[in-house]
Amino acid sequence: MDQLLYGIKALNIYEIIMFLIGGVLIYLAIKKEYEPMLLLPIGFGAILANIPFSSAIHEGGFLEILFKAGILTELFPVLIFIAVGAMIDFTPLLKQPSMLFFGAAAQFGIFFTMSMAALFGFSLKEAASIGIIGAADGPTSIYVATRFARHLLAPISVAAYSYMSLVPIIQPPVIRLLTTPAERKIHMKPDFDIEISKTVQILFPIVITIVAGVIAPISVALIGSLMFGNLIRVSGVLDRLSKAAQNELANLVTLLLGITIGSTMTAEQFLSPATLLIIAMGLVAFIFDTAGGVVFAKILNIFLKNKINPMVGAAGISAFPMSARVIQKMAQKEDPSNFILMQAVGANVAGQLGSIIAGGLILTLVK
């Protein structure tokens, strides 16, 4: 009988708290539909990891194998970026290359939060891993944390994906605080009659890979996999592979990534003051990224004849395409005749590139 009850006897209050946290993530995924493809597996993985003597995470357990094979080797983030690259259409950005500036401006929160984390006593590498949450890019956060702060991988990953799912809740109040109703009603002159040739679409991922790789060689794995996925998409000769990357590859790797990240949420590592501080600073990074893009657009408007709707600047984060949709919804609420979706998409795509380059620069400079 004792052998049958040894798991129950070993159960403690901290593991029960982690069961509840896992349950909350599953609730948010199902009831609120906040990034269900990620939060549901993460929540269930957290439950599996906190069952006493769980065979799933012990040596030889399937989650331990997935962690070593997919996270420590950085394979899962790279595969996710191939899938994301196959999903992204860079045409809106190529038609309005000025949106690249918003992809850069919206990374401000990363470096601000990195400095703040260092002031709170985290090491430089830990601070860099925390700051990258502001990229609003889960795979980049995992990639940096795996290299710099593996012991913080669980709270960093959960914070990154949670805030990505909360874009519709986090961004609107920040935008409204920093803009006036008149600014939110600004109509942007459409300039989408430009035709982007097939040659340009094919050259774009190749050139970006070379340029970004030369600037920050350590970012080649991330930017290269993203651009490789996009090259598959635009080449026109690999439609089956492009669809497989967008569907089967994305779904399978996301599933495995989520449950594996959840398995790192053991009570002894996750339930600590440092975890709460990391989650709080991740929110600060996200807010300052949004604010950085909006403020940058407002500064540009001082010098521009054709004004930019400042809300577009907020779409410079990497949460694609959710942020662009939020911006368009806000614009429509202010003025039903205002359509800035394509401009927001251009900034959003630029944010995807900006987050990877920012991650690469952090890895290069801190190392």
Q: Round to whole Å and give the CA distance between 77 and 258.
A: 11
Residue 215 CB-half CA count within 13 A? 15
DSSP string, 108-169: HHHHHHHHHHHHTT--HHHHHHHHGGGG--HHHHHHHHHHH-GGGHHHHHHHHHHHHHTHHH
Residue spans per domain, the chain:
59-366
User: How many angstroms separate the CA atoms of 245 and 265, rounded?
Assistant: 29
Residues 6+ apart with CB under 8 A from 216: 357, 360, 361, 363, 364
pLDDT, position 217: 84
- For residues 135 and 350, the answer to whether their CB atoms sit within 8 Å is no
Please choose, from the candidates 52, 44, 222, 35, the residue with its C-alpha nearest in 3D space to the C-alpha of residue 140.
222
* Average of per-residue pLDDT across 124-144: 85
Q: What is the reported pTM?
A: 0.84
The number of residues in the chain equals 367
The rounded distance, in Å, linking the Cα atoms of 184 and 333 is 10
What pLDDT, in 10s, does the model give residues 24-49?
999 988 998 877 888 899 999 999 99
Q: What is the pLDDT of residue 40?
A: 93
- pLDDT of residue 363 exceeding 60, the answer is yes
> Which tens digits make up the pLDDT trace of 74-104?
899 899 999 999 998 888 888 888 888 888 8
Query: Cis omega before residue 155 (within 30°)?
Result: no
